[in-house]
Amino acid sequence: MAARILDGRRVADQILAEVAAGARRLESEHGVRPGIAVILVGDDPASQVYVANKERTATALGFLSRKLVLPASTTQEALLSLLGELNRERAIHGILVQSPLPRHIDERAVVLAIDPAKDVDGFHPLNVGKLLIGERDGFLPCTPWGVVELLARSGFDPAGRHAVIVGRSNIVGKPLAALLMQKAPGADATVTVCHSRTHDLAAHTQRADLLIAALGRPRAITAEMVKPGAVVVDVGINRVPDPAAKGGQRLVGDVDFAAVAEVASAITPVPGGVGPMTIAMLMRNTLRAARRAAGLPADEAP
């Protein structure tokens, strides 16, 4: 069996085209231009790449895009003060602070300092709580939402299926489980969440109709762990040594892609799978925030 490739770049481009059109309508009809501020503290190389991608995408969509790069020595008090200013700035509708932060900064305090109405990452407890109880007027976290949207636009309906998520992080595993178990279109799955303390992990993954790997270990999911015909979504992004690659490293996922692709019915690649979806959903959240600021429903009527 040769698995169908779930092309996250193609689906993300569709979503970004929709966001761009929505942003043009919002500005022409209501005079509101979506604005996003992305803050980077320190000089982590991977974070610099992620922030640059977000800034470039926002600018291409016609958003007001503001990148704020702060030294690693920035105090927590200074960062919280900056967030307070951005919370009050009317031209900024979305605020994102790139992780990881320097060790002396409390990430929880930073998340709590962002106005929930501008929390386009979907990490504030108010938005997380709304997700858990099934209210859609908050902001959904971008990577889990991107997974659900990628599946929906690729024709996979999780309803009644057994979804197994490997990983229980607050960023991916937990919110994705909440999304997939909702009584809603694109959900209604039976969800099992596995993690580092799960006994006999393969016994769980082998029963999955939908297997989602988000554990942060390169190629940890092997072909023997996958049910024939399963849909496999790889959220992992790992850098591994490769002398033949530029810079001596290349990106791989949490799934042994080549081997699993011979067993699964569909699979996401790394790169080019979930990653582009995350940025697309961030931009969609920013447009939703701008519409709300204009006194409009977050989403346009179909």
Residues involved in catalysis: 54, 98, 121
Contact of 231 with 268, CB cutoff 8 Å: no
**Distance in angstroms between the alpha carbons of the first and the last residue of the chain:** 38
**Which amino acid type is present at position 233?**
V
Look at the chain and count its residues.
Answer: 302
What is the distance of C-alpha 8 from the center of its chain?
Answer: 12
Burial of 206 by CB count in 10 Å (0-12 exposed, 13-18 middle, 19+ buried)? middle
Q: How far is the C-alpha of 63 from the C-alpha of 56, rounded, in Å?
A: 10
The verdict on whether omega for the bond into residue 241 sits within 30 degrees of 0, i.e. cis, is no
Helix (H, G, I), strand (E, B) or coil at 91: coil
